[in-house]
Every structure is written in structure tokens, then in C-alpha cells.
Chains A and B, each alone.
Chain A
Amino acid sequence: MADFEPKIVAFVCNWCTYAGADLTGTSRIKYASNVRIIRFPCTGRIDYMLLLKAFDEGADGIMVSGCHPNDCHYTSGNFHARRRWIMFRSLCDFMGIDIRRIIFSWVSAAEGARWADIVNTTVASIRELGPYDEYRKIAAKPIMEVENHG
């Protein structure tokens, strides 16, 4: 899988991780270019159906990142995101979605180097896992077809 370039989308909050990634830029720390950031006001805003949508559309890996616990710009959005993630994680696991492909992290506005680090480890681990063809195989089948075979 050495030449495989994973497609990763990152859902991040505006106040911590987005700003942290800005700091990575201002500090000129280089990292892998496989990640595309989509900005949200808060991790609490992130509807986890979006994660499934991203897999649907062809993502090999997904990152969700926001403020550290207690540091949420909106007091508690990241706590809601965390609780939701715990539930969603078990649901994904149950459904057969590879939860190793969803990386949840906290990166503060001061942790530019940490963001680069997390991106690089994520890209490396997703590269190891290979393209997420399994999901696309399940998802590509119309529902009727699955039922007929079932």
C-alpha cells in the first residue's frame, strides 16, 4: 500500500482546531497533504450522519477535532460531541464500519505542532489500512439487491 494516497476529510471546530491548524501554517510545519479541512462553528454542530456521507462519497478516513474538554468556546459543545461520538462509535462498530478510520482528537489553538503530528499519524495509519473499498462495496449495492441476496 506504499503508493496509496488516502483521502481524508477533517471536520474541525472554528475556535480550537481550525485555529490550531492555522498555527501549524504560521509556524511553517510541514505535514501530509491528504487531509481536507471543513470548518464548523463547534464540534457540537457536527451531525455524525455527515461522517457516513463522507464515507459514502469516497473518504478513506475521517478526522473530527475540536477544543480540549473544558475549553469549548461555547462551554459544552465538545462534551456533546464526545458523548455522541461514544454512541456513534459503537453503532458504527455494530454496523461493520471500520472505526479505526475515524480519528477523534482534541487540538487547541496553541497546538500547531500537535495538529501536524495527528494528521501525519492519521495519514500513516489510513495508508496502512488501505482504501476503504469494503464500505463502497456495501454502499454501492441498491437496497433491493442486498435484500434479494440476504
Chain B
Amino acid sequence: MSKIGVFVCHCGENISSTVDCAKVAEAAGKYDGVTFSVAYKYMCSDPGQTIIKNAIAEKGLTGVVVASCSPRMHEPTFRKACAEAGLNPYMCEMANLREHCSWVHEKGEETTQKAIDLVRVLVEKIKYNHSLNPIKVPVTKTALVIGGGIAGIQASLDIANTGHKVILIEKDPSIGGHMSQLSETFPTLDCSQCILTPRMVEVAQHPNITLYTYAGLESLEGFIGNFKAKIRKKSKSIDEKICTGCGLCITKCPNKKIPSEFNEGLGNRTAIYVPFPQAVPNKPVIDRIHCTYYTKGKCRICEKVCPTQAIRFDQEDQIVEAEIGAIVIATGFTVKQPDFFPEYGYGKYPDVITGLQFERLASASGPTLGEIRRPSDGKIPQKIVFVACAGSRDQAKGIPYCSKICCMYIAKHAMLYQHKVHSGKSYVFYMDIRAGGKMYEEFVRRAIEDDGVNYIRGRISRIYEKNGKLIVNGADTLLNAMPVEIEADMVVLATAGVANEGAEELAQKLHVSYDPYHFFAEAHPKLKPVETNTAGIFLAGACQAPRDIPESVAMASGASAKVAGLFSQDELTREPLIAVVNRQPAPVYSSCVGCFLCISACPYQAIEKEELRNRNGDLIRSVAKVNPGLCQGCGTCVAFCRTKSIDIQGYTHEQVYSEVMALFNEF
């Protein structure tokens, strides 16, 4: 006979304001098998947990139903409390009275009745719960970091410095990411490359880091501590071991007019190239889409000039298989291409550029060697307009969120422009200035007060060309929406930061969730910002939401601490909520008839054939067997099984059917 305790939580007023908790406890107390029921203000608090522990000890409870918040929130808390009182943690279930009841319904009879129903369902379920013991699995102490921007670099270094192996993969020929493209960084105006490149070199030289550039994740299998990754190393068409990085091939390549990705199209590169002079690794790759040999079948000049014969035209993509224990996603973001603003004329007027293009103009390593010159005629612009929120915070453009970094980098751009062109005038059209951060507001004030940048609160309606000038039409909303017209030489659009194009596909490969904007979703917005819903996979940087450099670095270090914590254990304990094939005494052995439909249904190849033999070693028959190390507990096999021979612990047939039957007892 079950002795079940029901513990109803008020959650302060979160539950009790719409649900009559005392009534729920009273109703629960009358159910068959319930020997104790109580309502308390905060069940998760120390005194609340003590009530549970005491009841287990004093009443000899065999099952505990906690009616409080979502089990996704506090199930581990209450299971731990039960375990401490000597009750198997899997004899504890939670009824979700907060997220699924009190927060979503008005106060009233129906709401309390729903709460009672939810409790009753679990009271009946728990009668069929069994004591379960956690499964132990080994941990592979190698981390995979995806993306070699500042977040990926920081995460790799932090993990490598704890003494664990790291594999860093980067899709581009060099690590460095967006940060390597920046001129100076806010709010200190220190040179981006000067602080970044030493880190890049450190990554390349670190004994614990294996760096694969020009590579991507092909597929991922397994689970926390035991992932198997396939990494595709795209062919670079050179032998990296022989290449010395002398760069002779680059100077001789005849195909010199390819828009440089690194310079955001403002400069050109060759078909065999290193993205930028400080690239790590500093060895060229051949861009097969543009290379004359691959497109037209002849050229091979690089091969002729290479002093070490390192060119390999026939090189193929390589698949590297690696055993991985944890993954840090640091794939970053991209800026929305502004061609979806026909009214701003991007693409039509060469002097309407993006913020990232301005970074290249202002950078000493950029196409103009750090002089601000307009792309159309190379003249120094005397009037420049910066447009904030180009796409961001715009429902109509499908990007209702704030891109976060733009307010700061516009202030920086305007400041850099004023420092370089003393006679110039700069205007910033903004919606609000969002400068939350250490020394951020001061930085914006400096741009306005010390450097004389004109901030105009208002939006731009149209930009058009007239007599070689860009006419910017806007309104000043602080002056009663007075129309403003500025004859500018150049316009910089602070376009929205958006998720990478392949983000959705990568999320599906990794089985992590993503938000409506295709940024990767964190496990909890406040308390688990660097974890994903998939155990063992962590997030760093702007792949989760628009982030600036300090935040990306902080996230990367946070994710690394999580990885290090994971790697500090030799064995992991896993939830035993997995499938099992029933076993009975001879001569039945198992009700499994060996159709093996489950094998084809299992996404994890966790089910295998097992031969049942008698004492003489004669084969009786083959039945299915679940490998507990591989089973993830989805239960797809359970629904497939024709003879109901396979069942999933925690959601057994007995449990779910009794839930349904219990529900309609009174509902």
C-alpha cells in the first residue's frame, strides 16, 4: 500500500493568489494512498524542504508529490530533498500548479479544480513509480569549440589552460572573427587588433589546442561526456605542413579583383589569399569559386612560383572524427545586409555604407590605411550622417529587438571621424541612446560634448543623390517632428545584428533550440545563460543574442568554467529514465517477439539484438536489448512495440494510463 505525501506550495502569492492551496491539500488528502498532505508558503525554501524530509521520516512515505512550479525548474531540488531523507529520488513527482495553472488562469473555482486535477493525476502516477538508480557514464575530457571569434578564442584558451584538450574549428581561413575587422574598440578606443592578435597567436601555439580553420561541423552524435563529432576540413588546396607562408603565390596570382570579405567588399583580394596580414594560421587558401584554374581549367601560376611546391590542386575535403566531452558554440552573428532598405539607397549609392564597412575605412589595416575616404571617389567626406537602428527595433522589418552594440559603435565612429577629419561635421540620427555598461554613457557624452557630434533624435525617411551629395531627409522629434535635411557626403547605416545564415541548420545538428530570430536559446534566461537545453553544450558570445566584446568574453569564460566543471569528474551520473525490454523467468524469458521494429525506430542506435540461450548454449530466440549508455529516453521504441515489451522508465504504460484514468475520475 502506497503512503503518499502531497506538498502544496503557495509560492509566496504566485500560486495562492489564484488557487486555493488549502483546498487543494485537503482534496489531495482524501485520495486513496495519500497519508499526508499539507500546504506551505515556500516549499523550495529550507523550512519547506524540511517539512518534506520530516514527513518522509515520520510518516514513512513511499512517494512524494510536490505541487508547485514547473518540474523543469525545481524537480532536481525536490528529488534531492527526498534522497536526503532516504527516499529514492525517482519516487518524487511534481505537479505544475504555477506555470500551467495559477499564472495562466484567473482566480476561481475552475482554477482550483484544475490544480486538484493536476495533483490527482500525479498521485495516481506515483503509485506505479519504481526506485531507480542513476546511470554512470565516463567523460571524454576534450572540448569542441565551434567558431574562432573572440568568444571562441577566449573559451578555447580558458579550457586549454585548465589542462584539458580543445579542438577549435573555424569556418574561415583565419580565426579572429568580427573583432579582427574592427578599428578601435569602445569605450577605451584601444586598437582591436592590438588586443586580439596576441590571443590568436596564443591559440595557435597552445599545446592543448588543435586548430582547424576552413572547417565546419559535419555531424554530431552521442550525449554529454560522450559526443562523437565529424569535422569537415575543407580543402585549402595547399599542403599546410610544407607551406612556409611566404606569400609569393599571393603576389603572383593574376586574379586580383575579388571583393575581400575581410574588408567588407571595400577592397579586393586574390584567389589564393590570406584574409588579412595578421591571420592565424598565416597560410593561404585557394578560393575555388574564383580561382581561374578551377573555373577555366588553366593558370596554375601559384604552383609554378611556390618555392616549396606546397600547392595541391587535387586536395580533397577531409573528414576528421573526434571524441568530445563538451561543446561550446561560439559562432557569432552577422550584420543584416542593408539591401532591404530601398529608401536608404544602399547598393545604389556607393557612399551609403554599413557600420562594419566604416570600421574597415577607419582601420589602419583597411583599404584606405585608416583614412576616412568615401568609396565612390576617394574624397574625404566633410559631412557624414550615421543612422542608428537601421533595421533594429523595427517590427516592420521583422527585427523587433535592439541590436545592442550600435549605439556604442556609432558614438565611436563619429568620434573617430571627428579625430581624423577635424573640419568635418557628423550627425547621428537615433531613436534612443542605449549606453548601459561600464564607462559607456560617459563615452557617448564625450562624443557629444567634447567632439561635437550632432545627435538628432529622429528617423530618416529617405536618402537620395543630388549634385553629387546624398540628401538625407529626416525629422527631429525633439523639435515637434520638424523636417531636417542634410546634404551629406557619406551615410553610415548601423544595420541590425542578426543570427548567422546557417544557425538553424547548426542548431539542428547539435539538437539545441533557437529563438524566433534564430539565435541559439539559453537553458534559462537568467540562471543558465551559457547552457543550452542539451546537456554538455554551452553558448558563448553573439550566437545567443547581440553581444559586445566584454560580454562575449565574459560568456566564453563562463562557458569554460562549466566545461571545466564537467571535466573535473571522471564519471557522470545520468538520469535513469531510459527504455528497458521486459524480462521474465524461463520459459517465457521476455514477451519480446523479436520483430526489431524498435531498432529501426531508435534514433541513437541504442537497441541491439540479444540472443537468449539455454543452459546448453542452444539458441532459444533473439530479443531486443537496450544499451543504457546510449539510450536517451525518448520512448519512440515504446510506442512502436507491437507486444508492449519495451517500456520507458518514468513514463511507463502503467504510469501514463493511470494518469489518463485518474484525470477523468473527477474531471
Contacts and interface: CB of A to CB of B under 8 A. Distances in A.
Interface of A: 5, 7, 9, 14-16, 18-19, 21-26, 28-31, 33, 36-42, 44-48, 50, 53-54, 57-59, 70-77, 80-81, 84, 108-111, 116
Given A44-B639, A70-B508, A109 B664 contact: no
Contact of B104 (A9, A25, A45, A59): A25
5 contacts: A7-B664, A42-B635, A45-B648, A46-B639, A109-B521
Contact of B121 (A7, A30, A31, A36): A36
A57 B664 contact: yes
Given A40-B651, A44-B639, 14 more contacts: A9-B664, A19-B72, A23-B99, A24-B104, A26-B99, A31-B104, A36-B663, A57-B661, A74-B604, A75-B603, A77-B634, A84-B639, A108-B513, A109-B513
B121 A41 contact: no
| Chain A to chain B: the 8 pairs with minimum beta-carbon distance, closest first | A25-B99, A45-B635, A44-B636, A74-B634, A57-B664, A25-B103, A75-B603, A42-B634
Given A38-B659, A42-B634, A47 B639 contact: yes
B30 interface: no
A60 B656 CA distance: 19
Given A77-B603, A84-B639, A44 B660 contact: no
Contact of A22 (B72, B508, B511): B72
A64 to B, nearest CB: 12
Contact of A36 (B117, B507, B635, B639): B117
Contacts of A25: 70, 98-100, 103-104
Interface residues of B, number: 52
B224 interface: no
Interface in B580-632: 601, 603-604, 632
Interface in B628-667: 632-636, 638-640, 648, 650-651, 653, 656-657, 659-661, 663-664, 667
Contacts of A70: 508
Contacts of A45: 634-636, 638-639, 648, 651
B577 interface: yes
B635 A41 contact: yes
Interface of B: 70-73, 96, 98-101, 103-106, 110-111, 114, 117-118, 121, 507-508, 511, 513, 515-516, 521, 533-534, 577, 601, 603-604, 632-636, 638-640, 648, 650-651, 653, 656-657, 659-661, 663-664, 667
B636 A58 contact: no
Nearest to A21: B100
Contacts of A40: 635, 651, 656
Given A19-B72, A38-B663, A50-B657, A73 B511 contact: yes
Contact of A58 (B507, B533, B534, B664): B664
Contacts of A36: 114, 117-118, 121, 663, 667
A26 B98 CA distance: 9
A10 B603 CA distance: 25
A44 B634 contact: yes
Contacts of A37: 96, 100
Given A9-B660, A37-B96, A54-B660, A26 B103 contact: yes
A71 B653 CA distance: 26
A109 B533 contact: yes
Contacts of A110: 513, 515-516, 521
Contacts of B653: 47
B634 A41 contact: yes
A76 B664 contact: no
A74 B603 contact: yes
A62 to B, nearest CB: 10
Nearest to A28: B103
Contacts of A54: 660, 663-664
A109 B532 CA distance: 12
Contact of A76 (B99, B106, B603, B659): B603
Contacts of A81: 639
A23 B511 CA distance: 20
A22 B110 CA distance: 19
A80 B639 contact: yes
A109 B637 CA distance: 24
Contacts of B71: 39
Contacts of B634: 41-42, 44-45, 73-74, 77
